[in-house]
Amino acid sequence: MSEINQLPENLKGVHIHFVGIKGTGMAALVEILYSCGAVITGSDVEERFYTDEILEKMNIKVLPFDAKNITDKIQYVIYSSAYKPDVNPDLIQAMKMKIPCLLYTQALGSYSSKAYSCGICGVHGKTSTTGLTGTILKKLDFIPSQVLAGSVINSFGNTCTYTSSLVKNNPDVCKNVNSGTRIFVAETCEYQRHFMSFCPQKIILTSVESDHQDCYPTYEDIRDAFVDYICKLPENGDLIYCADDKGAVETALLAYNKRPDIKLIPYGQNAGGDFKLTYKAVEHEKNKFAIKLFENENPSSEFYLKVPGKHEVLDAAAAVTLVCQLIRFYGKHPKDYEKQIAQGFADFSGGKRRSEIVRNFKSRSGNDVLVIDDYGHHPTAVKTTLEGFREFYKGRKIIVDFMSHTYSRTQALLKEFAECTESADIIILNKIYSSAREKASDFNITGKTLYEETLKHIEKKLKEGKIDIKADEKVYYFEEPLDSVDFIRGEIDKPLSEDYPDGYLFVTMGAGDNWKIGKEI
């Protein structure tokens, strides 16, 4: 990384201006740099986001974009990739004044180079795994740690980051590059190879499969990006990977062939030795599971999570594997901290738009209705999340409103999308939520296309005798999400059979704005 793209070692008193400060990653980085004593200003659009609350806690007033925001007191500018240096007035002025300007990914990479950093990556599970890791580290007061997640994590105190008291109370930890004492754990993103700016000492790889088709047309393209990222590990660096994910296993072996010095540490039900996962059961809306914390442990240590889905249990196994390696890094034994690990799992309740319980209310006819919002936008994530809800909330009838995100992803994975919502009792589909990076006219697909493919899939299941409801009674289409509100109100007012003694579960799912339905109903 060139000097011009490096933040200083000592951030105390350094004035940094953020362009696009309300972005989730940007606001999280603000929290991290603010905790190290930096002076922060920032600009963004007027529309209110959930990150406004995070910024307000730090007494940061968000300014509208304007060249006047850039004064001679500003020493660095960090900007979101959503804003262009030759278009945004703040950035144009900063360039004129020759103030160092860093992309968010460059700034995150620079900060990671000044700590013992651990990158969490994968097509699925990054945010939950990062949140779980931070929630456990909160219980381990001997580790000076900072954690940056890609969304608000409830157990962090409704922020995107966690900073331990050892870091807060010792400013020198933030500026000592060579001490190796400060642990920095961050969610790192594969999109456009953004994670290549990060400087990892350890990596968690949760999953690899085809996604982001606009920049990775084939599975091999995205797999090879992960291989290149893994090869950034230092000599004898740890790759913690999911032994239950075919893509992660393949990627780990390809990286090992290039770098046989890398230490491969598998976790999951197919892992041998340490960190083998045994999934127990769902009891009283809790996932019970066991993990081996060290080789030959018998019996394995038992834990529980109060968030639904076996995929969350896998994320928990990833988190505890990393934490155990960090405990060993500090010369201690993981088994001595079993209670703290268990308490960390018990405290974890998810995050913003990650199986987030939005509200619970009574319908007009008196039915109990639980509303959950989830960011799942890849068919694998949608499928596993809904199956998790089905197991977790056995006594509820499930209605899902799914809004597919990006034309390129929907077109590339149409068959998978048509099948992924099957476990819901009623499926509502909307138009495709587009990306600013693509034009709808470039594709021969719409939300109606996905609706028609989903109908065909349900009709096939009906003929096979695997479901007992007609496709047109299970699958519905509303172009605009809010157009479905009256239909949903009518459904949740209907009397329920004895199969659903607990009421309804209404789920909004996707990266779009269909979450607004939950408020309307």
pLDDT of residue 2: 46
Query: Sorting pLDDT into bands at 50, 70 and 90, what band is 1?
Result: very low
Does the predicted model carry a pTM greater than 0.85?
Answer: no
pLDDT of residue 293: 83
Query: Sorting pLDDT into bands at 50, 70 and 90, what band is 157?
Result: confident
Query: Sorting pLDDT into bands at 50, 70 and 90, what band is 176?
Result: very low
Closest-CA residue to 247 (of 133, 150, 124): 124
Query: Sorting pLDDT into bands at 50, 70 and 90, what band is 178?
Result: very low
Query: Sorting pLDDT into bands at 50, 70 and 90, what band is 172?
Result: low
Closest-CA residue to 328 (of 293, 297, 304): 293
Q: DSSP code of 47?
A: S
Q: DSSP code of 354?
A: B
pLDDT of residue 226: 97
Q: Which long-range contacts (CB under 8 A, 24 or more apart) does 364-368 make?
A: 364/489, 364/493, 365/493, 365/494, 365/495, 367/492, 367/493, 367/494, 367/495, 367/496, 367/503, 367/504, 368/502, 368/503, 368/504
Output the CA–CA distances (angstroms, integers) from residue 239 to 23, 107, 124, 235, in the order listed: 29, 24, 17, 11
H-helix or E-strand spanning residue 106: helix 104-112
Please tell me whether residue 66 adopts helix, strand or coil conformation: coil
pLDDT tens-digit map of 287-312: 899 998 876 677 778 899 988 878 88
pLDDT tens-digit map of 188-237: 988 888 899 999 999 999 999 887 777 888 999 999 999 999 999 999 99
Closest-CA residue to 281 (of 385, 392, 423, 380): 392
Is the bond preceding residue 299 a cis peptide, omega within 30 degrees? yes
> Does residue 441 have a pLDDT over 90?
no
Output the CA–CA distances (angstroms, integers) from residue 66 to 41, 45, 81, 393, 437, in the order listed: 13, 11, 18, 50, 25
Output the CA–CA distances (angstroms, integers) from residue 378 to 187, 365, 456, in the order listed: 18, 35, 20
> Does residue 353 have a pLDDT over 90?
no
Q: pLDDT over 90 for what percent of the chain? A: 62
pLDDT of residue 4: 56
Pick the more confident residue, 81 or 303. 303
pLDDT of residue 89: 96
Query: Mind spelling out the 3-state secondary structure of 406-470?
Result: CHHHHHHCHHHHHHHCCCCCEEEECCCECCCCCCHHHCCCCHHHHHHHHHHHHHHHHHCCCCCCC
- Segment 448-467 shows an average pLDDT of 90
| C-alpha span between 347 and 325 (Å, rounded) | 21
What angle in degrees, to the nearest 10, is found between the helix axes of 246-258 and 219-230?
Answer: 50
Output the CA–CA distances (angstroms, integers) from residue 518 to 320, 356, 360, 372, 404, in the order listed: 34, 11, 10, 8, 17
Exposure pattern of 282-305 as b/e (b: 16+ CB <10 Å)?
A: beeebbbbbbbbeeebeebbebbb
- Residue 317 corresponds to which tokens in the numbers above? 């196994």
Closest-CA residue to 413 (of 194, 227, 209): 209
> Does residue 412 have a pLDDT over 60?
yes
> Does residue 517 have a pLDDT over 70?
yes
> Does residue 180 have a pLDDT over 60?
no
Query: Mind spelling out the 3-state secondary structure of 228-241?
Result: HHHCCCCCCCEEEE
Mean pLDDT of the chain: 90
> Does residue 179 have a pLDDT over 50?
no
Closest-CA residue to 490 (of 504, 477, 501, 502): 504
> Does residue 29 have a pLDDT over 90?
yes
Query: Sorting pLDDT into bands at 50, 70 and 90, what band is 495?
Result: very high
- Segment 372-376 shows an average pLDDT of 85
Phi, then psi, of 372 in degrees rounded to 5: -125, 140
Pick the more confident residue, 151 or 33. 33
pLDDT tens-digit map of 45-78: 988 888 888 899 999 999 999 999 999 999 999 9
Ranked by mean pLDDT, the top range of 266-280, 363-377, 466-480, 481-495 is 481-495
Q: Which residues contact 3 (CB under 8 A, 6 or more apart)?
A: none
The number of beta carbons lying within 10 Å of the beta carbon of residue 47 is 7
| C-alpha span between 147 and 161 (Å, rounded) | 5
Q: Which residues contact 87 (CB under 8 A, 6 or more apart)?
A: none
pLDDT of residue 381: 84
pLDDT tens-digit map of 128-147: 999 999 999 999 989 999 99
| C-alpha span between 48 and 377 (Å, rounded) | 23
